[in-house]
């Protein structure tokens, strides 16, 4: 099992935030591709400072964190790798590649900065008494 965390940095403004959320809702993963669960989250400014110790937010953009739990990295790559470009293969802003395959996802108009992602490996696993609630989207 691997966890893929994507940090989305979205331009401030309700129209940009709504555009991002609508795009995220439309992104789909085919069944039986190795995805256990994917959750889109947003940091909450808690009243008690003990809950705000992770500096992933900034007043210049709106932060979203996408957390995907996958069977393995190969499953993730097979399902969505075609949409991810290595940094040296990304098309320049305002530019294009002649090869149409290179025109996959890069930076959307609503993004403040290109999204960041990291692969997290499972070290240990703890089950609580509660089961996960049903997903909002299929």
- Asked if residue 132 belongs to a domain, the reply is no
Name which residue leads in pLDDT, 116 or 98: 116
Instruction: Indicate the pTM of the whole model.
Output: 0.78
pLDDT at residue 19 above 90? yes
**Domain span including residue 6:** 2-46+57-121
Average pLDDT rounded to a whole number, residues 123-133: 85
Which CATH number does the domain housing residue 100 bear? 3.30.70.100
Structure confidence at residue 87 (pLDDT): 58
Contact assessment for residue 2 and residue 70, using Cβ atoms and an 8 Å cutoff:
yes
**Would you state the pLDDT for residue 105?**
46
**Is the Cα dihedral 59, 113, 11, 48 positive or negative?**
negative
Please tell me the total count of domains within the chain: 1
Which single residue is written with the structure tokens 């940090």?
7
Average pLDDT over residues 79-101: 59
Is there a domain that residue 126 lies in? no
The answer to the question of residue 130 being in a domain is: no
122-125: long-range contacts (C-beta < 8 A, 24 or more apart)? 122/1, 122/2, 122/3, 125/1
């Amino acid at each position: 099992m691997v966890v893929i965390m994507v940090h989305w940095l979205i331009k401030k403004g309700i129209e940009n935030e709504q555009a991002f959320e609508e795009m995220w809702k439309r992104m789909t993963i085919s069944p039986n591709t190795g995805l256990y669960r994917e959750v889109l989250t947003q940091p909450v400014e808690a009243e008690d400072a003990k809950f705000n110790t992770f500096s992933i937010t900034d007043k210049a953009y709106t932060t979203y964190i996408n957390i995907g739990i996958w069977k393995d990295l190969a499953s993730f790559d097979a399902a969505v790798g075609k949409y991810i470009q290595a940094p040296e293969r990304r098309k320049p802003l305002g530019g294009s590649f002649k090869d149409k395959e290179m025109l996959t996802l890069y930076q959307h108009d609503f993004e403040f900065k290109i999204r960041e992602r990291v692969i997290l490996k499972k070290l240990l696993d703890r089950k609580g008494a509660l089961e996960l609630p049903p997903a909002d989207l299929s």
